[in-house]
Amino acid sequence: MLDNISATELIRKILQWKKQFLYITLTTMVIMGVVVFLIPKQYKSTVVVFPARQFSVSKLVIEANAGNQEDYMMFGDADDAEKLMQLLNSDALKLKVADAFNLWQRWHITDTIFAYHYLKQKWDDQVTIKRTEYNSIKIEVYDYTADSAAFVANGIAAFADSVRWEMNREVSGKVVKIVKEEYDFTMNRMKELEDSLHKLRLLGVLHFKEQVKAFSKSYAKAIEKNDLGAMKRLESKLDTLKKYGSAYTNVKDNLEKYSSKYPDIKMKYDEAMVNYRAQIPIKFIVEHAIPDEFKARPKRMIILAISIVAANFFGLFYLLFRERFSRASSKKV
């Protein structure tokens, strides 16, 4: 419709219908002024965080080899930032924040089977989480009071650690159970072998190889001296070694094997317990949210101006269409 009309003619028609456009403008200003005035004010708060290096606590803090330790004071890289973004956008975090700050009531979310669906929709409107060009993450929250906007923004940053903690506990708890079973088995087995070795020592088997050498040498001297009493005593001791020697050797070898295994399994157990009990924050907070009493939205004048321009555009379209329709009807008559 506008393709067949020149700019000059269009301006002429606008001036011709200036009363209609004035009426449209005034009507739109009154209606949209009331509507815009009824839109509640919202305030914005911002938190800026840098991701931390994301490794297990045991590796960062108690790694035996100092050369393998990561510096837990360093900022994370792009991969760490992506991981933190996933946590900040997770459903688990949204539910924690909603429950902690009663967003269900604050955001007027009806308690129905669709409550969580409405929460996610409202969250997308009120919360923006994005990476910056400096590899930091900016959390922006809008709410109906300045204090609540700051509380929610700081809460989102804080609950990221809680979500990560719960994820780690689920995995580290299973690791602790597995390692503890192996640790307990090793300790019990060592205790059994030590008890067996103690019983053999009570029977006279103190050190099989050394005793065999010593008794054999003494037995040879007793034969040279033809000392029958000594020969009889040594024969009894050699019979005891012959009877329990293999058992002693087997028990001692097994005890040495488990003793050499013990430091490794103990270290693994200690690492697992540290990972289960302790946590390191996964972010560095650069900027905490502070209540800002300056209204962030709605931008009432912008909404009103756009509404007036849109109403006049559609009014122009309607007037041109009506004029063309009237001409076509006149020609048919």
Report the interhelical angle of 78-88 vs 146-202 (nearest 10°). Answer: 110
H/E run at residue 283: strand 283-287
Dig out the tokens for 265 from the structure: 């399994």
**Is the backbone of residue 62 left (phi > 0), alpha (psi -120 to 50) or beta?**
alpha
Scan for tokens 């965080």, then name that residue.
Answer: 49
pLDDT above 90: residue 65: no
Residue-level pLDDT at 238: 66
Beta bridge partners of 45: 141
DSSP labels for 72-112? Answer: TTSBP-HHHHHHHHHHHT-HHHHHHHHHHTTHHHHTT---S
Q: Rounded to whole angstroms, how far apart are CA atoms 57 and 175?
A: 14
Q: How does the average pLDDT of the chain come out, rounded?
A: 83
pLDDT score recorded for residue 236: 72
Would you state the pLDDT for residue 92? Answer: 93
Per-residue pLDDT of 102-143, as tens digits, reads 999 999 888 778 899 999 999 999 999 999 998 999 999 999
Query: 14, exposed or middle or buried, with CB in 10 Å at 0-12, 13-18, 19+?
Result: middle
Residue range 22-39: mean pLDDT, rounded:
82
Q: Which residue has the tokens 């973004």?
A: 85
Which residues lie closer than 8 Å to 262 by C-beta, 6 or more apart? 186, 187, 190
- Helices (H) then strands (E): counts for the chain: 11, 5
What does the CA dihedral 60, 63, 65, 69 come to, rounded to 10 degrees?
0
* pLDDT of residue 3 exceeding 70: no
CATH class label, 39-173+280-314: alpha beta
Q: In the prediction, which pLDDT does 4 show? A: 64
Q: Taking the CA atoms of the chain, what radius of gyration do you get in angstroms?
A: 42
Q: Find the mean pLDDT for residues 202-212.
A: 71
* DSSP labels, 130-156: EE-TTS-EEEEEEESSHHHHHHHHHHH
**Residue bearing tokens 């050499």:** 260
Strand-pairing partners, residue 128, are 140
Whether pTM exceeds 0.85: no
pLDDT of residue 128: 94
> In 203-227, where does DSSP find H-type helix?
208-225
Pick the closest to residue 62 from 290, 224, 279, 274 (CA basis).
Answer: 274
> pLDDT at residue 64 above 70?
no
Q: Where are the domains of the chain?
A: 39-173+280-314, 184-277
Burial class (CB in 10 A: 0-12, 13-18, 19+), 175: middle
